[in-house]
Structure 1
């Protein structure tokens, strides 16, 4: 009975997360375009399936992955073994990313765009290895008590330099690949590892040292993917693409693809593919639980049920995306372009960015953790408003780039140059949190909707290539929250100094 009550609460929470998107789309659809969207029933059904999928997924995480991951982090912190912590951090980061569905999609798109020069699986291995390595590096940073400033400044100087030399075909996808590494599973696990370590180590501050792992996971894949792109475009030849890779169709695939003419068999096949997506995390957790820590899992039946809910919820979520959110993003892009009023496109981009971010579960959780760690310096609701404003500004600027047809190089390099300058000026306590907040904005709801919007705009605008111009919006959604949060901290500190407050 308690579990059903808890699930009901999660279901309501998932619906509230999706409600801002529904409101924004409804206002634009009926007040501005004054027409009923095509396939309305299918879209509504898809959105309801998304809500159900998120609820099942979150309930499964609460029963399985989260408690086990937290217990493992605490156990390693108590052991005080740095090599063991680094190994655990590496495999946790690698396993969480290697089978990430969004990364698989990005890698396949990169293979198509590069005409076979980039291998999709090699790219996934590169990104997953990068994330694993930086989680291990982040653990070392926390243990040694280093400030995040120089890690991020040096890192983003490298990002800007590499972007200058990277081929245009790979820049947008490289930045998006950094964004999709921080998902609804990895953010809480990695953030819990960092904050848990900082809390358990003497002389470490949860706000200054505990945050920053998510930021590193976003940054390093941007560098490694672009370096890989430079190498293959300089020395590689275009390869032969398979029959399924001849073109990148921005339209939505069937929600459930029949297998041998059977829809049921198709659903079972898709469920097994979802198991494949979650399996690396399960293997890593079980290995460290039984082989390294050598403790049995408490309440094993509940944990197994949680893993099943994670897989079923992920499957329902993906089906709902294909039926609901993807068509909404593409349909809105097409209809807004048909109005021939660019202002409405900018307004929709701003509103959808703000609305989706304000309801983002990971942001709410990180905001609460930051308020607790800040001890009066920060307010969770103010953080959410600042991040939502940053995402809204970022997506609007990204949409302007697509409309204008400008190269993504200049925008990205300017954005991260601004971030580097603000890192020097911002108070130290806010830097790690600000960078982490740039990573948690790319949610399970925001990413597919924003990606569909970008591809839809690039598809229906004359002279735009959806494969080259349609990507990069996720990168803009990650840059500008860092800017708004740092600017706010600088302004607050300046005001305090003006009043003579120490």
Structure 2
């Protein structure tokens, strides 16, 4: 019990450090630049508390349960000597996990002319197919950059065949379907499968699953757009309700808890069932380890319920109001640097970012520190939010940003160490999580409403931008690593196949 208490306190310090900066920025804006109704501010503060506590439980739960489950299910899947069995299992696992992702239900409402059930099944099948492709790549050591060139060439070819109002939603779907539960599980699955290979490049190939799985939903939604020929996206914002007193505030949050209790239970169920089948038909874990995983699952569930309630009930209305108020200022260009500042700090509050950064540090034996990863991700998201605000103010098409952005990212993949490319494309899906959907997207929607822009073509696309820029910044980190290594060619090789200088080549930012 004391062990869990100490770990919870450690996670509380980490989550407080992640949420406090963005809360401070919002408070400064409220009192110095744009007045915010007291009810919306109270909702935001209550949401910040729930986010902090939710991250504390989630981070510990992911460490105790989600990562160990994925690392054990991965090798169990590859025990069959029949490749088709492995691929079918990967496909089914991808479909089941994606169908239960709550943000996918929101995406389904944004796509016109396409029945919700059809879109959900297509997107889930897209993730399943690309999870199977990703595992195939790992088992046979296929170069990731070559695959990225082929698949993104197909993505942008299809992008010119669908209506402009449909493109932003299609690209957003890649980030929406990689949620806070599926990302830790898929990443751990990759680590578990790579452990089957004992070659020196196994660690390099342990990442990249999330990056490839993010392509499937984009292709699936674009194919649906070509089949159903939707003329334009339709989306209407719900009217914001101001809270009058503390009783009304409590009633609103208490009304939201049952919704997220149900949603998170449905989302966790596939992972629990997959682990249950593993326990029945594969290696049986000892009781002590099962107990630890069980406690971790409870922590994960409680953390996600608190986090999603705080994000949706508290951060969403605050983000939309701030965006609308700032874009309505005479100096509305201020929304660009303010958006960048928000993006820099808000990515630290994404639940799966913590998991990614620490898994990278662990797999590379500290050669890529979590701090360096965190700074690179923050810089990437800051740039993406700034560019998104430019899009809102000017109405520039999203392809003006995505085509050169992905061109640079894929071009860099041929010049940086393989592991950085895989980590970079994973980080895109990780960074575009629930905080982007519940704060940054409403922020862009509010701004778009204030300037009279097209909600679908101008506001949507924030998720896609947030998923793109880390691909560049993380690979730039890889270039820094390579340059440091070239200055001192005396290197050593770690057990995981990553060559680095024991002192000088460890990246420090």
The question of whether the paired residues in 2 share the 8 Å contact of 1:90 and 1:132 is answered with yes
Cα distance, 1:487 vs. partner? Answer: 3.2
1:304, CA displacement in angstroms? Answer: 5.1
Partner Cα separation in structure 2 for residue 127 and residue 440 of structure 1 = 18
* C-alpha distance in 2 between matches for 1:167 and 1:449: 27
Q: Does 1:343 align with 2:329?
A: no
Alpha-carbon distance change, 94 to 288 in structure 1, aligned in 2, over 3 angstroms: farther
Q: Which residue of 2 aligns with 1:426?
A: 416
Correspondence 1:396 to 2:386: yes
- Post-superposition offset of 1:142: 1.0
Which whole-Å CA distance do the structure 1 matches of 2:235 and 2:451 have between them? 18
Match of residue 330 from structure 1: 320
- Superposition map of 1:39-438 within 5 A: 39-77=40-78, 82-110=83-111, 114=112, 117-233=113-229, 248-251=236-239, 268=258, 271-290=261-280, 292-293=281-282, 295=284, 298=287, 306-374=296-364, 378-438=368-428
Matched, 1:18 2:19: yes
Task: After TM superposition, give the deviation of residue 333 of structure 1 in Å.
Answer: 0.6
**C-alpha deviation, 1:164, in angstroms:** 1.6
Cα deviations across residues 72-124 of structure 1 (Å, max 9, x unaligned)? 224445666644543443333222221111111111122xxx2xx11122111
Q: Take 1:165 and 1:50, find their aligned partners in 2: how far apart are those partners?
A: 40
C-alpha deviation, 1:39, in angstroms: 3.2
Q: Distance in 2 between matches of 1:263 and 1:377?
A: 43
Give the counterpart of 2:473 among 473, 476, 484.
484
Number of residue-to-residue matches in the alignment: 483
Q: Structure 2 regions of 5+ residues with no counterpart? A: 492-509
Secondary structure in 2 matching 1:166: coil
Change in 2 beyond 3 A, CA 1:66/1:426: closer
Q: Would the aligned equivalents of 1:250 and 1:455 in 2 still touch at CA under 8 Å?
A: no
CA distance in 2, matches of 1:253, 1:230: 38
1:473 matched to which residue of 2?
462
| Deviating more after overlay: 69-78 vs 182-191 | 69-78
Structure 1 residues 76, 270: closer, same or farther in 2, change over 3 A?
A: closer
Measure how far apart 1:28 and its partner are.
2.6
- CA spacing shift, 1:378–1:4, aligned 2, 3 Å: closer
Q: Distance in 2 between matches of 1:450 and 1:42?
A: 16
Name the CA distance, whole Å, in 1 between partners of 2:259 and 2:212. 35
Cα distance, 1:62 vs. partner?
Answer: 4.6
Normalising by structure 1, what TM-score?
A: 0.85
The 1-side partners of 2:241 and 2:41 are apart by 17
The separation in 2 between residues aligned to 1:118 and 1:354, in whole angstroms, is 35
Deviations 1:426-478 (A, max 9, x none): 3434221221222221233333111111211122222x132332211111111
Please, which moves more after superposition, 383-392 or 307-316? 307-316
The answer on whether the counterparts of 1:14 and 1:51 sit within 8 Å (CA) in structure 2 is yes
With over 3 angstroms needed to count, the CA separation of the structure-2 counterparts of 1:96 and 1:17, relative to structure 1, is farther
Equivalent residue of 1:459, what SS?
helix
Q: More displaced, 69-78 or 428-437?
A: 69-78
337-346 or 88-97, which deviates more: 88-97
CA distance in 2, matches of 1:497, 1:14: 37
Q: Which moved more, 1:448-457 or 1:318-327?
A: 318-327
What is the CA–CA distance in structure 2 between the aligned matches of 1:323 and 1:46, rounded to whole Å? Answer: 7
1:454 aligns with one of 444, 452, 457? 444
2:50–2:310 Cα contact (<8 Å) kept:
yes
- Counterpart-to-counterpart distance in 1, 2:479 and 2:256: 54
In the TM superposition, residue 165 of structure 1 has moved relative to its aligned partner by 1.6
Residue aligning to 1:242: none
CA distance 1:388–1:84, shift in 2 (3 Å): same
CA distance in 2, matches of 1:195, 1:327: 38
TM-superposed deviation, 1:312: 4.1
Q: 1:128 to 1:490 in 2, by over 3 A?
A: same
Contact 1:127 1:225 in 2 (8 A): yes
Q: CA RMSD in A?
A: 3.4
Deviation at 1:419, TM superposition (A): 2.2
